[in-house]
Amino acid sequence: MGILDSLENSPEFKGVLAQLEGSVLPTVLSEVLGNGSQGGLNAIIAKLQQAGLGDQVKSWIGNGQNLPITSEQLQQVLGSDTVRQLAARFNIPVDQLSQVLAKVLPKAVDEASPNGTLPASS
């Protein structure tokens, strides 16, 4: 069992995850995937692909299993300042926000791209 496994099973992480899923996560995902400071879903996808994460992105958009992304990779793509600002805005520790986003982003992109097609940029 790795350190992330033990963290994910800790009551603190589960409490943060429940808090995020309940009210904060939809807003954070909207900020990250929507037309917030990151430029929308297509801009995030482009950033991820430019960062060498094209295989992961392809798996999220296509059918089949979604490949994972680490919190460090996601933080690098979004930018540490952006992640810090989101964490501060929602009063959540940066590392926990990054971990939860890394866990839910693949599914969010998958759900935003039914039939393997990204929505058109607005």
Q: What is the DSSP letter of 21?
A: I
pLDDT in tens, 75-114: 888 888 888 888 888 788 888 888 888 888 888 888 888 7
* CA separation, residue 74 to residues 1, 35, 97, 105, 120 (Å): 23, 18, 11, 9, 23
Identify whether 74 is part of a domain: yes
Identify whether 79 is part of a domain: yes
Checking 12-17 for CB contacts under 8 A at 24+ apart, the result is: 13/96, 13/99, 16/92, 16/93, 16/96, 16/100, 17/100
* CA separation, residue 94 to residues 59, 111, 118 (Å): 26, 25, 29
pLDDT in tens, 43-57: 888 888 999 999 999
Identify whether 87 is part of a domain: yes
Identify whether 58 is part of a domain: yes
CATH number at residue 50: 1.10.10.690
Other CB atoms within 10 A of residue 30 CB: 12
Identify whether 119 is part of a domain: no
Residue 86: give the domain boundaries. Answer: 38-114
Domain count, the chain: 1
Identify whether 68 is part of a domain: yes
